[in-house]
A and B are shown apart, each in its own frame.
Chain A
């Protein structure tokens, strides 16, 4: 019966409505599964009490036929850089190890209002800086695929929202919230074989999302099916008066037709040639080409397009990222919250000691580099103009590239990551900075331009690891983007990790519900 966790939100919701099981049963299945899958280290904190409390309230609502939404009773996980009242929120850093927020992130509040159950806070690279979920004080998160109990080595889950991706891929939760600044939701989605959505900038409130790069951060959604992503998006999207970067345009809930009713005839799909870069693996290239062919032979108009500044996008991103980080991390001084070093002689010494102990090397280096780019002291040292102001202009060029391409096509088909998931032992041979430059290549341009993008698992590599592709659309094109994603999902029928483990299909659960 606990295999019901391995289906999807619609099926589970029907079963809860039909009284096949209660929300408390479901949550207990989820918590048990979380305890059985500790080896992946997806969770920093499994919120047993909170989960059971939410589940009990949900069970009562169902018994009175007063469920709040299709997410009522659904177990979800949230990345540990989203504030959750009364539940510690650490950003996987020593500097916030003792931080307990006194308010809820809007995303979390909206999920609670929809009746969802929080199973736990998930692991991430410290302050979301990284693409592997290996730079956490709680240890690395490991990919579910090709996991070897007898080996120290493992395939990385991707990052920085690796914990959330694994919580979904392993079947503990039916959905999870991550964040996406340069690809942090889509990258682990690609490596763990789940769907990862980066919404349009401003569509989902950032209140309570501990900021990394204010002009690029968005909450990201992770689930095993496109329909599940839509359910979660419908619950969390829309204007938030407490987030001044939140879009005021009223959000219309998306309703996707059944996959077999989706037609792509005449849909103009662009293949940006610059995304075929030097490090692209042959396997990803083949999948990219095969899906392009598949879409073309089913009526879409597939053509090559150009985003000429793509190669410089990653350079621009790294400068703007480090600069905004230098600014955003200035708030951690040990006085108002967080770790405080034992130092009484001066504020500067206290700040320096607190931050040196509290932050890991990756964070400290980004702060240092960001501040270097801001130096504007003398004739010789005009770094602000040379790097930061320059990067702001290059960002405009990247945005212009996208604007130009939308005159020609409606959606872009690209790789998400340049290969399948690397081994941890190989991944750590490069520095965090060097890795990000490769890992984020195809994902960060969407953050630079603010446009939505979704990663979809397609098939498996020779090693048996997921291979995924990415769709990018113009601002607020989530309905079209997710419809196309659903179309592709239906064709490729990607065998999820949970499906491979267990043979019970959705249809069997539908039957169970009907016969009860």
Chain B
């Protein structure tokens, strides 16, 4: 134990007022001195997932965001690599936890109208409306897959 540091510990105060309480004059380390060894590093990582063009096309259709460029895929693959650590955990006979409130019955209210009649409020923030309707372009037209998504730069 470094002597100088020991002295500093004994004489150190957190404040200068008279209400200050000194730290105990012992050398006890309540916090373990060494970082706990990583369990993750003990396991051999699974082979890194590489995203193929079909998966990208599927993800773009499901997500409806345009991000399947090189950088986006790289970040996705890195996220999957990180998520793969979870496969190391033994979850046999463990039930899923959907909500921390699982032991509390859901509060259900009476089937009575308590508010509403606020069409104006509901339509207020829509950029395009027609009379009392929201307006959308034609549906049921699937998004086309892009050519060569894996080779695009952003």
Nearest A residue to B80 by beta-carbon distance?
A372
The reply to whether B20 and A304 contact each other, CB–CB distance below 8 Å, is no
The reply to whether B91 and A372 contact each other, CB–CB distance below 8 Å, is no
Among A340, A431, A458, point to the contact of B128 (Cβ < 8 A): A340
Known contacts A290-B9, A318-B83; is-contact A493 B20 (Cβ 8 Å): yes
The reply to whether B30 and A348 contact each other, CB–CB distance below 8 Å, is no
Known contacts A215-B100, A278-B35, A315-B86; is-contact A351 B64 (Cβ 8 Å): yes
Chain B 87-129 residues near chain A, CB threshold 8 A: 87-89, 91, 94-101, 104, 106-107, 109, 118, 121-122, 124-128
The reply to whether A340 and B127 contact each other, CB–CB distance below 8 Å, is yes
Nearest B residue to A295 by beta-carbon distance?
B30
Stretch at the interface among A65-73, A104-112, A239-247: A239-247
Among B14, B79, B80, B134, point to the contact of A336 (Cβ < 8 A): B134
Bound Cα distance A148, B91 (Å)? 50
Chain B 23-55 residues near chain A, CB threshold 8 A: 23-24, 26, 28-32, 34-36, 38-40, 55
Bound Cα distance A335, B133 (Å)? 10
Bound Cα distance A377, B54 (Å)? 12
A276 at interface, CB cutoff 8 A: yes
The reply to whether B98 and A312 contact each other, CB–CB distance below 8 Å, is no
CB distance from A300 to the nearest CB of B (A): 10
Tell me which residues across on chain B come within 8 A of A346, comparing CB atoms: 137-139, 141, 143
The reply to whether B126 and A335 contact each other, CB–CB distance below 8 Å, is yes
- The B interface, classified by DSSP as helix, strand, loop or mixed, is loop
Binding site for B on A (CB under 8 A): 98-100, 102-103, 201-202, 215, 241, 244-245, 247-248, 260, 271, 273-274, 276-278, 280, 285, 288-290, 292-294, 296-298, 302, 304, 309, 311-312, 315-316, 318-319, 322, 326, 333-340, 343-353, 355-356, 359, 361, 364-365, 367-369, 371-375, 377, 381, 386-387, 389-397, 399, 431, 433-434, 437, 449-450, 458-459, 490-493
The reply to whether B125 and A387 contact each other, CB–CB distance below 8 Å, is no
Count how many chain B residues have C-beta atoms less than 8 Å from C-beta atoms of the other chain: 78
Known contacts A293-B28, A399-B100; is-contact A372 B59 (Cβ 8 Å): yes
CB distance from A363 to the nearest CB of B (A): 8
Among B21, B39, B65, B137, point to the contact of A355 (Cβ < 8 A): B65
Among A312, A347, A399, A492, point to the contact of B139 (Cβ < 8 A): A347
Known contacts A100-B124, A395-B97, A433-B75; is-contact A292 B83 (Cβ 8 Å): no
CB distance from A183 to the nearest CB of B (A): 17
The reply to whether B80 and A312 contact each other, CB–CB distance below 8 Å, is no
The reply to whether A393 and B97 contact each other, CB–CB distance below 8 Å, is yes
B148 at interface, CB cutoff 8 A: no
Bound Cα distance A285, B104 (Å)? 38
Tell me which residues across on chain A come within 8 A of B62, comparing CB atoms: 371, 374-375
Bound Cα distance A340, B109 (Å)? 36
The reply to whether A245 and B124 contact each other, CB–CB distance below 8 Å, is no
CB distance from B134 to the nearest CB of A (A): 5
B136 at interface, CB cutoff 8 A: yes
23 inter-chain pairs at a CB distance below 8 angstroms, sorted by A residue, are: A201-B101, A215-B100, A271-B30, A292-B30, A293-B28, A297-B26, A311-B38, A315-B83, A336-B122, A336-B125, A346-B137, A352-B143, A359-B65, A364-B65, A368-B59, A368-B72, A372-B59, A375-B55, A375-B62, A390-B87, A390-B89, A394-B86, A459-B14
Bound Cα distance A476, B29 (Å)? 30
Bound Cα distance A321, B86 (Å)? 14
- The A interface, classified by DSSP as helix, strand, loop or mixed, is helix
Nearest B residue to A415 by beta-carbon distance?
B31
Binding site for A on B (CB under 8 A): 9, 12, 14-17, 19-21, 23-24, 26, 28-32, 34-36, 38-40, 55, 58-68, 72, 75-76, 78-80, 82-83, 85-89, 91, 94-101, 104, 106-107, 109, 118, 121-122, 124-128, 134-139, 141-143
CB distance from A52 to the nearest CB of B (A): 25
CB distance from B136 to the nearest CB of A (A): 5
Bound Cα distance A397, B97 (Å)? 9
The reply to whether B124 and A334 contact each other, CB–CB distance below 8 Å, is no
Tell me which residues across on chain A come within 8 A of B142, comparing CB atoms: 348
The reply to whether B58 and A375 contact each other, CB–CB distance below 8 Å, is yes
Nearest B residue to A216 by beta-carbon distance?
B100
The reply to whether B91 and A393 contact each other, CB–CB distance below 8 Å, is yes
The reply to whether A294 and B24 contact each other, CB–CB distance below 8 Å, is yes
Tell me which residues across on chain B come within 8 A of A351, comparing CB atoms: 64
The reply to whether A215 and B89 contact each other, CB–CB distance below 8 Å, is no
The reply to whether B67 and A304 contact each other, CB–CB distance below 8 Å, is no
Among A248, A304, A490, point to the contact of B32 (Cβ < 8 A): A304
The reply to whether A368 and B67 contact each other, CB–CB distance below 8 Å, is yes
Bound Cα distance A248, B109 (Å)? 12
Nearest B residue to A341 by beta-carbon distance?
B127
Tell me which residues across on chain A come within 8 A of B124, comparing CB atoms: 100, 102
The reply to whether A458 and B107 contact each other, CB–CB distance below 8 Å, is no
The reply to whether B136 and A335 contact each other, CB–CB distance below 8 Å, is yes
What 4 new A-B contacts, CB under 8 Å, besides A271-B32, A296-B24, A375-B62?
A298-B21, A302-B30, A352-B65, A393-B97
Tell me which residues across on chain A come within 8 A of B100, comparing CB atoms: 201-202, 215, 399, 449-450
Bound Cα distance A322, B82 (Å)? 12
The reply to whether B59 and A431 contact each other, CB–CB distance below 8 Å, is no
Known contacts A278-B38, A344-B137, A348-B142; is-contact A433 B79 (Cβ 8 Å): yes
Bound Cα distance A365, B97 (Å)? 25
The reply to whether B91 and A365 contact each other, CB–CB distance below 8 Å, is no
Tell me which residues across on chain A come within 8 A of B101, comparing CB atoms: 201-202, 245, 247, 450
Known contacts A277-B35, A296-B24, A437-B82; is-contact A355 B64 (Cβ 8 Å): yes
Tell me which residues across on chain B come within 8 A of A302, comparing CB atoms: 30
Nearest B residue to A451 by beta-carbon distance?
B100
Tell me which residues across on chain B come within 8 A of A296, comparing CB atoms: 24, 28, 30
The reply to whether A396 and B97 contact each other, CB–CB distance below 8 Å, is yes
Tell me which residues across on chain A come within 8 A of B75, comparing CB atoms: 365, 369, 431, 433
